[in-house]
A and B are shown apart, each in its own frame.
Chain A
Amino acid sequence: DSGVTQTPKHLITATGQRVTLRCSPRSGDLSVYWYQQSLDQGLQFLIQYYNGEERAKGNILERFSAQQFPDLHSELNLSSLELGDSALYFCASSDTSGNEQFFGPGTRLTVL
């Protein structure tokens, strides 16, 4: 158990809908990272937050957005969902050194 929690574990929804994925980092970690893992694209970095501020942005679609709250938990919002958004979404956290990222169990999103 990495100490990073994610909810929900599974999410099934329809095209065009909007969902919110939630992540709580390890105690004391200020950085949160979001990744998408799909069969065709592999693992891709989406976005990073550090202590509430966006620090780095990767291949995140405009339909996706994220934020980190004062209690350091983070949410990833996915809107206007398409079939191709079906994937595993992982959250990771790290301490201020950023030397190691610890991954949560993931949320499996299925868009029908």
Chain B
Amino acid sequence: ELKVEQNPLFLSMQEGKNYTIYCNYSTTSDRLYWYRQDPGKSLESLFVLLSNGAVKQEGRLMASLDTKARLSTLHITAAVHDLSATYFCAVDSNYQLIWGAGTKLIIKP
């Protein structure tokens, strides 16, 4: 059974700092996703990582995938308050997404 672990589950940081969220998964998969969710809202697709070594960047967020290590990272550079949200990673397993528990990110001015 595929398991997806995210850490940390909660992160409070100051604006301007850098940090990384980690996503580990237990069995082979070649598709990994990062989503953002604001309180009470839907899930917004951030990144789709489809191959080993994939790296994607959008603004202050960068995601990477290492399928051999079964690890993806979401790196936040020079955080700003607007990035406060819960971030989920999800791994594709035979047409279903298996989700991490989410990382609640609070960025203080």
Q: Contact mask B11-49 → A, CB, 8 Å, 1/0?
A: 000000000000000000001010100000111110010
Given contacts A43-B88, A104-B42, contact A55 B97 (CB under 8 A): no
Contact of B99 among A43, A56, A105 (CB under 8 A): A43
Shortest Cβ gap from A28 to chain B (Å): 17
Q: Give residues of chain B (78-102) contacting chain A, Cβ–Cβ below 8 Å.
A: 88, 90, 92, 94-99, 101-102
CA distance A112 to B92 in the complex (A): 34
Given contacts A99-B31, A99-B48, A99-B50, contact A45 B96 (CB under 8 A): yes
Contact A100 B45 (CB under 8 A): yes
Residues of A within 8 Å of B, CB-based: how many? Answer: 23
* Inter-chain CB contacts under 8 Å: number: 49
Residues of B within 8 Å of A, CB-based: how many? Answer: 21
Among residues of B, the one whose C-beta sits closest to the C-beta of A100 is B48
Contact of A106 among B42, B88, B90 (CB under 8 A): B42
Please indicate the chain B residues that have their CB under 8 angstroms from the CB of A105 in the complex: 41-42
